[in-house]
Amino acid sequence: MTDRRQWVEHLYRTHGHAVLRRARRLLGNLDDAHDVMQDVFLALHKNGDKFAGRSSVTTYLYSMATHASLNRIRNGQTRTRLVAIEASARTGVAPPTGAMRTLAHQILEALTDEEAELAVYLYCDELTHPEIASLLGCTPRQVGERARKLGERIDRIGERVA
Amino acid sequence: MTCISELAIDRLLAGELPLLEATAAREHSARCGRCGGLLDDALTMQSVFAADPPPLRLPALRPRRRYLAYAAGALAAAATVVLFVGRRSDDGPGGERTKGGPRVSFFVAHDGHVRHGVTGDHVVPGDRIEIATTSRAPGWLTVVSVDGAGMRSVYVPTRAYAAGTEQIVPFAIELDATLGLETVTATFCTQPAGGECTTDQFTLHKEAR
């Protein structure tokens, strides 16, 4: 266990900043991001053997930070806030308000956690399919198929709630 | 090159991007305001974090039970015996290895092209070598080299490595002008100083351009 502790402490020193930055980006504030960073490394300490080496350490931690951040905001009905933050960061325009915000909120609340994670990678992070594949542990082709299904599902939700 | 993702920036800072991709990413960031800003932000966060890292709150180690103390003492004594096992000279790209044990492999960047290296590879001064590890479990890595003149150099000071396939060590080694056969030996240990260790190695034939 000492070895794992040293390993986690080493990863914290070398990769903690990346986890903190990732969480700050998704959560929009540094205080929550610090909590998520602690959660990530605590989970790594507890379940480090789940890291099977299918991806790089950085990719694995990126995925863990995304999961932890989404978990944190899941119950706060703040997915809309997440999208608003991301959209304004990417485009430099004001966050969506009014009807658009309500629509985005209803769509995101209707997504499962897995779908929300994929939506973040696709629409917020604008990752490539190979990058998403490395995060999800699948092939780029499977990412394409999941993205197509997600798009159709968002369309259906949008039609229902519009 | 298209804009780079934040995941790619993280991998760039961690030294996980292959040389050509890393070079392209840096060159693009120098020209692109968006990516340059993201990279600057990441570098700032990295330096601030390194200067004053927030304390990591891991659970305290549990006190060992008394009856285990003797066994622990015996284990600690045994752990000080460094075991070097398995030597092999040319068994594929990784150099020597113990079956199922950690392995070292490498990439060679030559005139802008990167190739997967094989033991006995022919290289020239100025080529850059990237070391990678493949292991089922994390541990501690040290890489030393003995060049054609018999000079010993530490290529990778002792550092932690993660489990996984071809985990890139985040810096490259530029080969100097000393010609001849160079032997690069990676030592994998379970602890930062000693413990159980195995080695793996590869050779390079350094020739004049």
Per-residue pLDDT of B152-193, as tens digits, reads 788 887 888 888 888 888 767 888 888 888 889 998 888 776
pTM of the model: 0.57
All residues of chain A having their beta carbon less than 8 Å from the beta carbon of residue B6 are 21-22, 25, 125
pLDDT over 50 at A31, yes or no:
yes
pLDDT over 80 at A115, yes or no:
yes
Is residue B115 within 8 angstroms of chain A, CB to CB?
Answer: no
pLDDT-based confidence at residue B36 (cuts at 50, 70, 90): very high
pLDDT on residue B43: 92
Is residue B37 within 8 angstroms of chain A, CB to CB?
Answer: no
State which residue of chain B sits closest to A132, comparing Cα positions: B7
For chain A, list the domains and their CATH numbers. 1-72 (1.10.1740.10)
Considering only residues B196 and B122, tell me which one the structure prediction assigns the higher pLDDT.
B122
Considering only residues A141 and A116, tell me which one the structure prediction assigns the higher pLDDT.
A141
pLDDT on residue B18: 86
pLDDT on residue B166: 81
Percent of chain A scored above 70 by pLDDT? 74
3 state SS of B52: coil
All residues of chain A having their beta carbon less than 8 Å from the beta carbon of residue B50 are 13, 17
pLDDT on residue B99: 61
**Contact pairs from chain A to chain B, CB under 8 Å:** 116
Say how far apart CA A45 and CA B183 lie, in whole Å.
36
Structure confidence by residue, pLDDT tens digits, A35-88: 999 999 999 988 876 776 667 889 999 999 998 988 887 755 444 445 444 444
Q: Write the CB contacts of B15 (distance below 8 Å, at least 6 apart in sequence).
A: B22, B168, B169, B170, B171
The nearest CA of chain B is from the CA of A154 a distance in Å of 24
- Contact assessment for residue B56 and residue A12, using Cβ atoms and an 8 Å cutoff: yes
Which residues of chain B from 158 to 197 reach within 8 Å of chain A, CB to CB? 159-160, 162-165, 167-168, 190-192
The nearest CA of chain A is from the CA of B120 a distance in Å of 27
Average pLDDT over residues A76-101: 49
The nearest CA of chain B is from the CA of A130 a distance in Å of 11
β-bridge mates for residue B172, sequence order: B130
Indicate the average pLDDT of chain A: 79
Structure confidence by residue, pLDDT tens digits, B94-139: 444 556 789 999 888 888 777 888 888 889 988 888 888 888 888 8
Say how far apart CA B58 and CA B45 lie, in whole Å.
22
All residues of chain A having their beta carbon less than 8 Å from the beta carbon of residue B40 are none
CB atoms inside a 10 Å sphere around CB B85: 10
pLDDT on residue A23: 92
All residues of chain A having their beta carbon less than 8 Å from the beta carbon of residue B5 are 125-128, 131
State which residue of chain B sits closest to A60, comparing Cα positions: B7
Query: Roughly how many angstroms between the first and final C-alpha of chain A, as a whole number?
Result: 53
pLDDT over 50 at B87, yes or no:
no
pLDDT over 70 at B24, yes or no:
yes
All residues of chain B having their beta carbon less than 8 Å from the beta carbon of residue A54 are 164-165
All residues of chain B having their beta carbon less than 8 Å from the beta carbon of residue A1 are 61
Is residue A14 within 8 angstroms of chain B, CB to CB?
Answer: yes
Of A53, A108, A106, A160, the C-alpha closest to B166 is: A53
Report ipTM (2 d.p.).
Answer: 0.78
